[in-house]
Each structure stands twice: as C-alpha cells, then as structure tokens.
Amino acid sequence: MDLSKKILFAGDPHGNFKPLIAAVHQHKPEAVVLLGDYDLDTPLENSLQEIIGLTEVWWIAGNHDFETPDKHHNLFHSALADKGLHLKVTTVAGIRIAGLGGIFLGRVWYPPQAPKWANKQQYLDAQRVHIKHGDDMPLKYQCAIWHDEFQALGELKADILVTHEAPGSHKHGFPVIGELASAMGVKHIFHGHLHENYAKVIKHNIQVFGVANAAVADLAGNTISN
C-alpha cells in the first residue's frame, strides 16, 4: 500500500462530498480527515453513507458549520459527533493528529491583537448569562478560536495539525498557527477555508498544505482529486 494514501484530507466540501467519496473508493485510506465547512442540510452521516465502514471519518468544523442552528446540529449532533478532532490530539492510522476548528473573530480574539476575553466563562459572565455549558453560547461565539483553549492545545505533542484557518503561509493566514505547530512538535499542517491548493514551508521548517474546496489531498500534500 502507498503509505501517503493512508490518510486523506478533504477541503471544504460546501455540500459536495463526491470527490472525497471517489477518492476513498479509489485509494482505500485507513482514515479521512475533513477540514470544515460542510453546509449540511441533513446529518453528516447521510452525505458519507457510501464510505462509512470503508474508512474512519474524522473532522474539524469550519465557520459555515455555525451559520445556522440546522447546519450546526447536522454536524455536532450527527452520528459522527464523537469523531471531532478539535482541541485535542487523536491517534489516527498511527499518526498523532491535533485539531483546531473554527476561525479567529475580532469580537473574541484576532491575533496578533490581544484576546478580548480570557475564556468563555469571562464572556458569559459579562453577558450576565449564567449557563453551564459552552454549547449554549451564541453560535457566532462558538465558532471562534478562544485564546485559552488555543494555549492549552499548545501544551500537547502531535505529528500533524489540521486547522480550518490558515497559518502564516497564506496572505490571509495567521502566523500564530505556525507558532502553535512548532510548540507541539508538528511537522505538517493541513488547512481549508481559503479554497486554494498549495504547499509551502514556513518557519521552524513546518510544511503547510492548503486544501481547496472539495479537493482531496494525501499525506504528502498531493492533490489527488478535485
């Protein structure tokens, strides 16, 4: 087996899962990692019916997945809800993958600016809303990357970091993501969001692969389907 096809990475499907499904049938990866922005009208498992059971499915969320309560529900309450990689390190096909979903938002934290809130609780307290679960925050805030959670992720070690936002490799990216990867000992970053296939080496010799919308990349960063 071609080891570079052991895991495939899917760029923002925006409702089109066909290239990913075709790539799974062709290459039979052990796992696929979805990089966010699904625009789901029905639960995620419905879109992936053809490949569930053929490969493991893992995911992070993009900003679009918080746009409406339905899109959010169809991801976070899908049959694949427990396959989220956000803010942790998960061993997938023998490789340690760290996940960072969501985007940077001015109203929460927009690096290099200082964070507006130290954490979610501080924000909630300021709204005089006393609720126990982060799930009850407005979707717009759930979509944000929170500074304290980002810092905590940086304490962990991983081989690959998958993000929705781009690192500093892209003109619309954020260098702080490269710093996160470096702290974690990560060698490769895969990201979506910007709808562009590219490969670039950034500081600390970290290899970044952008994966375009509905495109599929392998572990070596080759685009194998789009």
Q: At its nearest, how many Å lie between Zn ion and the CB of residue 89? A: 23
Nearer to Zn ion, 101 or 221 (CB): 101
Sole binder of Zn ion in the list 63, 169, 207, 225 (CB under 5 A): 63
Sole binder of Zn ion in the list 19, 23, 31, 37 (CB under 5 A): 37
Nearer to Zn ion, 37 or 179 (CB): 37
Nearer to Zn ion, 6 or 193 (CB): 193
Sole binder of Zn ion in the list 193, 207, 210, 214 (CB under 5 A): 193
Q: Does 62 bind Zn ion (CB under 5 A)?
A: yes
Q: Does 86 bind Zn ion (CB under 5 A)?
A: no
Contacting range for Zn ion; rule: CB under 5 A; set: 16-24, 36-44, 84-92, 114-122: 36-44
> What is the 3 state secondary structure string of the chain?
CCHHHCEEEECCCCCCCHHHHHHHHHHCCCEEEECCCCCCCCCHHHHCCCCECCEEEEECCCHHHHCCHHHHHHHHCCCCHHHECECCEEEECCEEEEEECCECECCCECCCCCCCCCCHHHHHHHCCCCCCCHHHCCHHHHCECCHHHHHHHCCCCCCEEEECCCECCCCCCEHHHHHHHHHHCCCEEEECCCCCCEEEEEHHHEEEEECCCCCEECCCCCEEEC
Q: At its nearest, how many Å lie between Zn ion and the CB of residue 198? A: 16
Interaction residues for Zn ion, span 159-188 (CB under 5 A): none
Q: Does 197 bind Zn ion (CB under 5 A)?
A: no
Binding site for Zn ion (CB under 5 A): 37, 62-63, 193
